[in-house]
Amino acid sequence: MYRYDEFDSQIVKERVQEFRRQINMRLDGQLSENEFKPLRLMNGLYLQLHAYMLRVAIPYGTLSSKQLHTLAFIADTYDKGYGHFTTRQNIQFNWPKLTEVADILDTLADVEMHALQTSGNCIRNVTTDHWAGIVKDEIEDPRPVAELIRQWSTLHPEFSYLPRKFKIALTGAHERDFDRAAINVHDIGLRARLHPQSQEIGYEVIVGGGLGRTPMIGFSLKKWIAKEQLLSYLSAVMKVYNLLGRRDNKYKARIKILVFETGPEKFQQMVEDAYAQSEHISIDVPQEEQKRIADYFAPPNTPKISPHDIQQYEQHILSQRKLHKNFDLWCRHNLAQHKIPGYTIANISLKPTGGIPGDMSSEQMRAVADLAEQYSFSEIRVSHYQNLVLPYVPLQHLFNVWQQLHERDLAAPHHNTISDIIACPGLDYCSLATARSIPVAQEISKRFADTEKQNLIGPLSLNISGCINACGHHHVGHIGILGLDKRGKEVYQLLLGGNPDQNAQIGSVIGPGFSYEDIPAAVETVVNTYIQIRKNQDETFLETYERVGKEPFKEVLYGNAP
């Protein structure tokens, strides 16, 4: 499994020591708040509505049992017994004391974790498909390339003061398959691709996507580049960005605005020119180095399971499914096909009916860490859907794993359904929020708690943000909700038709907003309308929406009033 190399753990340890000194200088008055604030942000420490918040990175969404135990320990020792998983493969602690933050970071560093690059105008922690390296039928595990990018970008002087924060996401899935990393809505998205002639694995470079105030879908800057040249090419992109990027207006400083204002073709030409010129200082990565890094991500030594045994285990699972309805539903929704026969990918839900999306108690963390240790080679994945994954569950243990998850309220069988809601912390925690998002998610999940109804609806995503920063990805939910403030009252805009995957699309606002009390019913109305007007049960919400457009939904939501 992935580990830092020694060089990196040294850097992380030194950074903690340095930050400890800075905290002490702040506490005894040698540093003013103005001097200290950028330093704490560089170390992932924000000031939120009620207290500080510490954002800890989970590189590539890959965690070990030991690391998850450590997170549980931190939650109990320094926080209030829980953590919040975000949409960027981070975990946030909501109540740390400044006086204890250095101890928390030291504890994290002991298990090779940190809070670097989780804030500020740097290249943020690189995110990937949470099924990377385990899902059947991917072109390759993109994490070694992600790691290469991290090593290149971490603490790189040229990238520590960018015009704005910069987010990179990768997927190794085929273009025809589902993009679980939302690469089209990142500053840079990378997708593994086979060269049309040679079949060599390279990457497509998509640039200029993003959500927030000005949502945009990225555009394909380069259809294919060899892995060896990828960093050189990305350097050229960063060079053009750093050169042209606006520093006068933070809302216009994202690369998406630059691409838009320059024009995609011209931007492309500039990158190509920069790339051609930089050849003498290029940072091509030789194959040996690629291999060295890829070895960090080597899969665990999974014992081979014979076809005969697999058949037996499958039979056993089938009979258990007949006996336990919830287990049956969970198998139907929450499992994914593993690339290794006899194993499965089991998705853990952090969205129990009426629960807080992404929140996890320390007790649940310990339970999952133990389960992973016993049944998933000590590995856990974190998804940007605010859920977790057990990546290597042998089929013979599946029922047992489900039972244990079920006991801890971690087995809601609604992966990819309307109850699997993404929601940012909103006004309950966030100082930038204009409205609450969590209780809206809770109420809607209660209304759609009936699993029969979830099945009837089929795959449908609902994403909620508490302000235009769009941390809850509301623009790319099939149904999106944006909480705003209108003269002191929470008002919720409803968006339809968003899509985060390979056919990415920004949802559009359907009409005037709804009150806090009315928004759950408005969502129900949309869903019921979809069920009534879809051609058949196989037509998905997005297909129906594409076919009929906004009007039928508008009509039921607002009547025929102009």
98 touching another protein, by CB under 8 A: yes
List Cβ neighbours of 272 (8 Å cut-off, separation of 6 or more). 236
Sign of CA dihedral 245, 248, 253, 258: negative
Q: Which does 254 bind (CB under 5 to 8 A by kind): ligand SF4, ligand HEM, another protein, none?
A: ligand HEM
| Residues 27-66, mask of contacts with ligand HEM (x by CB under 6 A) | -------------------x-x----x-------------
Alpha carbons 128 and 108: distance in angstroms, whole number: 22
Q: By the 8 A CB rule, do 337 and 346 touch?
A: no
List Cβ neighbours of 551 (8 Å cut-off, separation of 6 or more). none
Which of 162, 216, 270, 424 touches ligand HEM by CB under 6 A?
424
350 touching ligand HEM, by CB under 6 A: no
Closer CB to ligand HEM, 115 or 395, in the complex: 115
Closest CA to 472 of 423, 516, 436, 528: 423
245 touching ligand SF4, by CB under 6 A: no
* Rg from Cα positions in the chain: 23
**What's the token pair of residue 242?**
């750093």
Q: Provide the 10 A C-beta neighbour count for residue 97.
A: 12
User: How many Å is the maximal CA-CA distance in the chain?
Assistant: 70
Q: Which does 49 bind (CB under 5 to 8 A by kind): ligand HEM, another protein, ligand SF4, none?
A: another protein
**What's the token pair of residue 73?**
């320990």
521 touching another protein, by CB under 8 A: no
List Cβ neighbours of 500 (8 Å cut-off, separation of 6 or more). 179, 182, 184, 185, 461, 473, 476, 477
421 touching ligand HEM, by CB under 6 A: no
Give residues 406-435 in contact with ligand SF4 (rule: CB under 6 A). 424-426, 430, 432-433
40 touching another protein, by CB under 8 A: no
116 touching ligand SF4, by CB under 6 A: no
Q: Which does 98 bind (CB under 5 to 8 A by kind): another protein, ligand SF4, ligand HEM, none?
A: another protein
List Cβ neighbours of 6 (8 Å cut-off, separation of 6 or more). none
**Burial bucket for residue 561 (CB in 10 Å: 0-12, 13-18, 19+):** exposed
Stretch near ligand HEM under the rule CB under 6 A, chosen from 81-89, 227-235, 364-372, 527-535: 81-89
Closer CB to ligand SF4, 142 or 357, in the complex: 357
**What's the token pair of residue 305?**
């399971």
Q: What's the CA dihedral at 404, 405, 408, 412 to 10 degrees?
A: -150
- Residue 79 beta carbon to ligand HEM: minimum distance, rounded to whole angstroms: 14
Q: Which does 87 bind (CB under 5 to 8 A by kind): ligand HEM, another protein, ligand SF4, none?
A: ligand HEM
Q: By the 8 A CB rule, do 100 and 16 touch?
A: no
Alpha carbons 105 and 115: distance in angstroms, whole number: 8
27 touching another protein, by CB under 8 A: yes
| Residues 463-492, mask of contacts with ligand SF4 (x by CB under 6 A) | --xxx-xxxx--------------------
Which of 3, 21, 97, 195 touches another protein by CB under 8 A?
97
Closer CB to another protein, 105 or 238, in the complex: 105
Binding site residues, ligand HEM, CB under 6 A: 46, 48, 53, 86-88, 92, 185, 210-213, 254, 424-425, 429-430, 432, 469-472
Binding site residues, another protein, CB under 8 A: 26-27, 29, 33, 47-52, 80, 95-99, 356, 427-429, 433, 436, 438-439, 442, 488, 490
Binding site residues, ligand SF4, CB under 6 A: 424-426, 430, 432-433, 465-467, 469-472
